[in-house]
Structure 1
């Protein structure tokens, strides 16, 4: 896991359009599981920021658009939408295009731009207020970081793998969320 984490950090510092030539399924699932754990851990490490913003009354975290969107859906429909449909669509929009940037400099820019855009689109989960705009970099920080993680596996293993990682990540968070309700 440590090696995967260090490779991920090195990659994010200097993304290059280079597939992982090891096509062994066991190897790929091992890296996938490492990335899933790293993704969940990243979210957990960053989440106290949201508690602080909510506690000081800077941003109302109770008024999240996702809750509103899912309120009339069954558990199955929520998991289908958040765990499969949304990740597939988002990966097609934000990760599929990054491999079309063939020159190293343009690839690096494209990689970062798509990670940031992925984060920024999640700002629509909030009621846009002046405080939300001020706190925007913090509010979408997890999605920007995850966008880079998903970009890493997309480049290394392919688009299906980023869809799978994104879907599993969302599903785990939704299941945890159901446990707290």
Structure 2
């Protein structure tokens, strides 16, 4: 199907700088990703502004997804300003989709035009994870979604320390 052509962006980092990958994956990524993709879910303007500001980090690494996310967050601000908040289900699904799409950057040699059919397989689990994290965020708060995200990443990353990757 073309999976063998793709490499993972963190393979070299894991072999050469395991501690950095652990810190980035368990602490930094959950903190930033939850702030960018889920803080705004309760549709409060200051939280949308936080997501908008931090989404500049995404534009640096993945300009297309980052720019689309920024446009979407601006749309949310406009809708709130006009006193016409969007449907919460739509906001959750779109947030999960952006969360999934940003993880396409984890794959090296990924050409969207020649591998578009792989996208659901490559990031489907991140989409479902984004829905779960959205549920946690909306029902228990942002700190719990950050904690869950960090623990989830730890469960994936720490066992790799004991395996030959």
Secondary structure in structure 2 of the residue aligned to 1:128? coil
Query: Which structure features the higher share of helix residues?
Result: 2
- Which is worse superposed, 135-144 or 92-101? 92-101
User: Which of 87, 91, 103 is 2:34 aligned to?
Assistant: 91
Q: TM-score, normalised by structure 2?
A: 0.67
Task: Give the match for residue 90 of structure 2.
Answer: 109
Task: Give the match for residue 25 of structure 2.
Answer: 82
- Runs of 4+ in structure 1 off by over 6 angstroms are 101-104
CA distance in 2, matches of 1:104, 1:119: 24
Secondary structure in structure 1 of the residue aligned to 2:110? coil
Alignment RMSD (CA, Å)? 2.1
Query: Where in structure 1 are there 5+ consecutive unaligned residues?
Result: 1-52
- How many pairs are equivalent? 124
- 2:110 equivalent to 1:128: yes
Change (3 A) 1:66 1:132: farther
Task: Give the match for residue 8 of structure 1.
Answer: none
Query: Where in structure 2 are there 5+ consecutive unaligned residues?
Result: 45-79
Q: Contact 1:59/1:132 (CA < 8 Å) preserved in 2? A: no
- 2:83 equivalent to 1:100: no
CA distance in 2, matches of 1:134, 1:107: 29
Q: TM-score, normalised by structure 1?
A: 0.62
